[in-house]
Structure 1
Amino acid sequence: MPTAPQPVGRRERNKQEKLDRITAAASELFAEHGVDEVTTQQIADKADIGTGTLFLYAKNKGELLLLVQNTAYADALAEGRAAAEAAPDVLDAVMAIIAPVVACNRKQIDNGRTYLREMVFGDPAEPHHREALGLTVQTEQAIAEVLRRDQRIDPGAAATLAHIVSAIMFISMAATINIGHTVDDILSEIREQIQVLLPR
């Protein structure tokens, strides 16, 4: 006989409520001013907590940005996966996965580029960093699934190709030369590079 789920205790509810306030405060301040212009003190004040409490949830500003952006990235990836299911062409389906991720990353360009830098150089022992890395793995898995639709692509090679596609996407979003580019410019650049990788 299955056991009934245990109700969440007051302490856990309080922790979640503080995390929600921190996430909302950081998200609003980062969107309005950019990550470089916001202090952890401002985030703590807006969330109505002490800085000591803030650092229990994220030990630095980079981790706070990961906390905020991971949620947006996860939503964008879910949107892209759903769109890819309706795209019959393999290249179009890959781009359907990538497009919302790029759009999400470019909402605030400096924040998006800092997020990518934190993913690459942050501490993988930190939970928000681990979650970000997990999202990149999920992105590659989604792309590999689409690539396997093409009978000419060996199933084992699909994972390698997906890793390359992921690298193309991340470099295109992070490159300093692309700071002034629109989402469409970046997607066009990514599409051209992926097209070269796929069988003709």
Structure 2
Amino acid sequence: MTLASQPLGRRERNKQEKLDRILTAASELFAEHGVEDVTTQQIADQADIGTGTLFLYAKTKGELLLMVQNTHYAEALERGRKAAESVPDALGAVMAIMQPIVECNRTQIANGRTYLREMVFGDHDEPHHGEALAISARTEEALAAALARDESFVDDAATLAHIISAIGFLSMATHADPAVSDETVVADIREQVQTLLRR
């Protein structure tokens, strides 16, 4: 039996169970009330753990939000990447990647903005912050791969992907009004990307 195939010990199982309870509690409370209106005490109570234990897993609400949202963002990126595979043109493929990310970010708009803020200004030594940045890097890789399918963008695909990522980031951050539809945000991104790619 290899180390990888050995079952988790009791201590590791307990840690994983607590982490699962924390993620579930934080996800439910953030979705229902928004990150600003939830306390760490409420999360600890719903997860049936002490606040001291909670802080062993995440030091701040921002880190808890990163823990919760990273999973959703990774799933949105994967949906977008798969959708882009069947889209032949560069603009269409880019937007196939961006649309589920926009929808994910705007599921709970205040949480989406806070997530973006934590990505930029969060504690760089915190592992969930690093995971968020890794998802952002994978997004740029997916965008670059979609662009590189068009010969005219091959040489600049990575740079263009970085710019497109910034366009998406800023568009999601600035459209904080819940009255603004996801479609409006996607259309805003599409218009800017279309201008960028028209050269």
Q: TM-score, normalised by structure 1?
A: 0.95
SS of corresponding position for 2:79: helix
Are 1:38 and 2:38 matched, yes or no?
yes
CA distance in 1, matches of 2:33, 2:177: 21
CA contact (8 A) 2:110 2:176 kept: no
Letter in 1 for 2:180: H
Q: How many residues align?
A: 198
Letter in 2 for 1:197: L
* Alignment match, 2:183: 184
* Alignment match, 1:174: 173
* Alignment match, 1:159: 158
Letter in 1 for 2:48: D
CA distance in 2, matches of 1:54, 1:62: 13
Are 1:111 and 2:102 matched, yes or no?
no
Q: Which moved more, 1:146-155 or 1:37-46?
A: 146-155
CA distance in 2, matches of 1:3, 1:41: 40
* Alignment match, 1:21: 21
Report Cα offsets for 1:79-132 as digits up to 9, x if no partner.
000000011111111000000000000010000001000000001110110000
Identity %: 67
Q: Which moved more, 1:7-16 or 1:32-41?
A: 7-16
Aligned Cα root-mean-square deviation (Å): 1.4
CA contact (8 A) 2:63 2:128 kept: yes
Report Cα offsets for 1:13-54 as digits up to 9, x if no partner.
111111000000000000000100000000000000000000
The offset of 1:3, in angstroms, is: 3.4
CA distance in 1, matches of 2:180, 2:129: 27
Letter in 2 for 1:77: L
SS of corresponding position for 2:150: coil
SS of corresponding position for 1:95: helix
CA distance in 1, matches of 2:95, 2:79: 12
CA contact (8 A) 1:178 1:186 kept: no
SS of corresponding position for 2:88: coil
What residue ranges of structure 1 are gaps of 5+ in the alignment? none
Which contiguous aligned blocks of 4+ residues in structure 1 show a shift greater than 4 angstroms? 176-179
CA distance in 2, matches of 1:107, 1:25: 17
Aligned CA distance change for structure 1 residues 8 and 23 (closer, same or farther; 3 Å) = same
* Alignment match, 2:139: 139
Letter in 2 for 1:37: D
Aligned CA distance change for structure 1 residues 177 and 108 (closer, same or farther; 3 Å) = closer
Aligned CA distance change for structure 1 residues 176 and 96 (closer, same or farther; 3 Å) = closer
Q: Which moved more, 1:178-187 or 1:144-153?
A: 178-187
CA contact (8 A) 2:175 2:185 kept: no
CA distance in 1, matches of 2:27, 2:75: 15
Q: TM-score, normalised by structure 2?
A: 0.96
SS of corresponding position for 1:41: helix
CA distance in 1, matches of 2:48, 2:176: 39
